[in-house]
Amino acid sequence: MVYAIDFGTSNTVITRWNTATQQPETLTLSGFSLKLAQNPPLIPSLLYVEDGSTGKVVVGQMVRDRGFDLSSDRRFFRNFKRGIGAEIQGFLPELDGATISFEQAGTWFLITLLQQLQATDPALDSLVFTVPVDSFEAYRNWLTQVCKLLQVSQVRLLDEPTAAALGYGLAEQRTVLVVDFGGGTLDLSLVKLEGRPEQK
């Protein structure tokens, strides 16, 4: 089954194609997701490092539920996507004898979610990750390395504006302006969708 993951600065969303309803559906991962009112479930992009030497971490809504989301606690990470692949990393804490990079924080976060997803659906064999349209090569390389740690037969990368346009069902030929107002960036992208040629 194919799953798509939008790893965001503030929140992460996991979806899949429901073959029974022929519709996409946003998934709730028990303990990791937050659902408010009629909004789709979101996974807060939060990480708490319990043991840096073994990679024991708490992610998503569990961080808040356990009261680990204290900005003064150096084991608590948020907004770590912003630093992935950046040339200037800024302050990096040392935990349990090792300096924790933003790439390491992001890897722990995604691997934890994906292991939970694989436990829920052992048939998971294909992943699609959305990436910022101006994503620098280092970020894409990091994401590729994360995917190599997983036992998934196929991994594809799709830029976020195209994913948004397709997600809203824009299939015919047209040019649309996609506004991605995220927790870390504001991207404006003109997306030109090419319609399929008519069959004769």
In three-state form (DSSP H/G/I as H, E/B as E, the rest C), the secondary structure along 24-69 is EEECCCCCCCECCCCCCCEEECEEEEEECCCCEEEECHHHHHCCCC
Average pLDDT, the chain: 85
Q: What is the pLDDT of residue 136?
A: 67
Burial of 119 (0-12, 13-18, 19+ CB in 10 A): exposed
Q: Record the tokens describing residue 63, joined without a space.
A: 């961080």
Quickly state the pLDDT bin for 6 (edges 50, 70, 90): very high
pLDDT digits (tens, 9 = 90+) for 153-164: 888 888 877 777
With 50 as the cut, is the pLDDT of residue 72 above it? yes
Percent of the chain with pLDDT over 90: 40
If you ran DSSP here, which 8-state letter would residue 96 be given?
T
More confident: 84 or 188 = 84
Residues forming a β-bridge with 177: 190
With 90 as the cut, is the pLDDT of residue 116 above it? yes
- What mean pLDDT comes out for the span 158-182? 74
Quickly state the pLDDT bin for 125 (edges 50, 70, 90): confident
With 60 as the cut, is the pLDDT of residue 199 above it? no
CA 184 centroid distance within chain = 13
Quickly state the pLDDT bin for 101 (edges 50, 70, 90): very high
Quickly state the pLDDT bin for 171 (edges 50, 70, 90): low
What's the chain's length in residues? Answer: 200
Q: What is the pLDDT of residue 152?
A: 83
Model pTM score: 0.86
Quickly state the pLDDT bin for 93 (edges 50, 70, 90): confident
With 90 as the cut, is the pLDDT of residue 90 above it? no
